[in-house]
């Protein structure tokens, strides 16, 4: 089995677009991980003017990077597929938002597999703040493969 650090090392993202700090737990049914939103992210300057709040698309991105991409890398490795040159594409997301996340806040993302078939991974994903309050929740799906995606 891969270590949590190995999973993160295989992610195809880098700063300033890496929104995963650590993986807490992973098995064939799901994954959980954390990210702390750096106060210095550029988008806080404009979202919103004089009132920095993490954009919903960025929360969604963090949910996808932990709940779908990190998880997908683990699942592919477990099934014996190469994870050296993975290609990913977000194919759908349907998220409801409940609480704002401010600069510097840490979140926990929990993802449960609905299915992983024919390179499509679909998960139920939830994000919580450190008070264990639900921040956002929904379903995200993507294609993940080693060969070129159609």
Partner 1 sequence: MSDKIEMIDELKILIKPYIQDEEAYKNLHEDTDFIEDLKINSANLVDIILDIEDKYDIDIDNDSMDKMLSVKAALEIIKIKVAEK
Largest CA distance in the chain: 49
Q: Which of 123, 117, 21 is nearest to 76 (CA)?
A: 117
Q: Whose Cβ is closer to partner 1: residue 33's or residue 67's?
A: 67
Q: Helix, strand or coil for residue 28?
A: coil
Q: Whose Cβ is closer to partner 1: residue 53's or residue 89's?
A: 89
Rounded Cα distance, 140 and 87, in Å: 17
Its sign, for the CA torsion 7, 91, 60, 110, is negative
Which amino acids are annotated catalytic? Answer: 47
* Positions that interact with partner 1 (CB under 8 A): 89, 91-92, 115, 117-120, 141-143, 149-150
Q: Rounded to the nearest whole angstrom, what is the least distance from the CB of residue 30 to partner 1 in the complex? A: 19
Q: Rounded to the nearest whole angstrom, what is the least distance from the CB of residue 143 to partner 1 in the complex? A: 6
Q: Whose Cβ is closer to partner 1: residue 121's or residue 135's?
A: 121
Number of Cβ within 10 Å of residue 104's Cβ equals: 12
Q: Whose Cβ is closer to partner 1: residue 135's or residue 141's?
A: 141
Rounded Cα distance, 5 and 12, in Å: 14
Q: Is 45 exposed, middle or buried (0-12, 13-18, 19+ CB in 10 A)?
A: exposed
């Amino acid at each position: 089995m891969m270590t949590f650090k190995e999973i993160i090392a295989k992610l195809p993202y880098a700063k300033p677009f890496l929104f995963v700090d650590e993986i807490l737990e992973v098995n064939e049914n799901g994954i959980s991980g954390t990210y702390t939103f750096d106060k210095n992210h550029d988008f806080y300057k404009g979202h919103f003017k004089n009132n920095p709040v993490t954009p919903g698309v960025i929360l969604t991105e963090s949910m996808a990077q932990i709940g779908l991409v990190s998880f997908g890398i683990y699942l592919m490795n477990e099934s014996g597929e190469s994870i050296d040159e993975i290609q990913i594409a977000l194919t759908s997301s349907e998220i409801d938002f409940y609480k704002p996340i401010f600069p510097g806040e840490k979140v926990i993302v929990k993802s449960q597999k609905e299915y992983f078939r024919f390179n499509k991974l679909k998960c139920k994903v939830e994000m919580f703040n450190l008070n264990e309050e639900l921040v956002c929740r929904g379903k995200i799906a993507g294609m993940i493969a080693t060969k070129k995606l159609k």
